[in-house]
Amino acid sequence: MERPAGRILATYEDTMSDILKAVTDATFQADVIEASKTQPVVVDFWADWCRPCHMLTPTVEEIAKEHQATVKIVKLNVDENMNVPGKYSIRGIPTLLVFKDGQVADQIVGAQPKENIVKIIQKHTTPNS
């Protein structure tokens, strides 16, 4: 993929790793709601223009790699998919929603440190959670 001349920042899609799947309004039911009935799913709501979203990307990628056996982490672009963010009242980004058993189980707003995110995810991946 060629970038326009003079473009400095890569788009978010350019920097997303293979471990982070992009979901859409159309795939959300299957990729998140249904999938969360067998394993917690974290949805990272983001936009390309959002600098804190870009800052959070490496952290989310690390967490996805380190915890891939216990949690699925996906991305949803709020500019390209407006129905899901509206349904879940996403007011600011980055926002991470943790889905478990088809429902929102937790929410993380803003570019949080890795330790905070991992602690919240582990709350939903440990037995009897």
* Model pLDDT for residues 86-98, shown as the tens digit of each residue: 999 999 999 999 9
Sequence ranges of the domains in the chain: 12-123
Question: What is the pairing mode between strands 103-109 and 21-23?
Answer: unpaired
d(CA 105, CA 112): 18
pTM of this structure:
0.85
Single-letter residue type at 40: P
CA 128: distance to chain centroid? 24
CATH topology of domain 12-123: Glutaredoxin (3.40.30)
Which is catalytic among the residues 43, 50, 73, 98?
50
Q: Is 53 a known active-site residue?
A: yes
d(CA 108, CA 97): 6
Which is catalytic among the residues 53, 71, 97, 111?
53
* Model pLDDT for residues 20-63, shown as the tens digit of each residue: 899 999 999 999 999 999 999 999 999 999 999 999 999 999 99
Q: What is the pLDDT of residue 19?
A: 79
Q: Is 54 a known active-site residue?
A: no
Query: Is 80 exceeded by the pLDDT of residue 8?
Result: no
d(CA 38, CA 41): 9
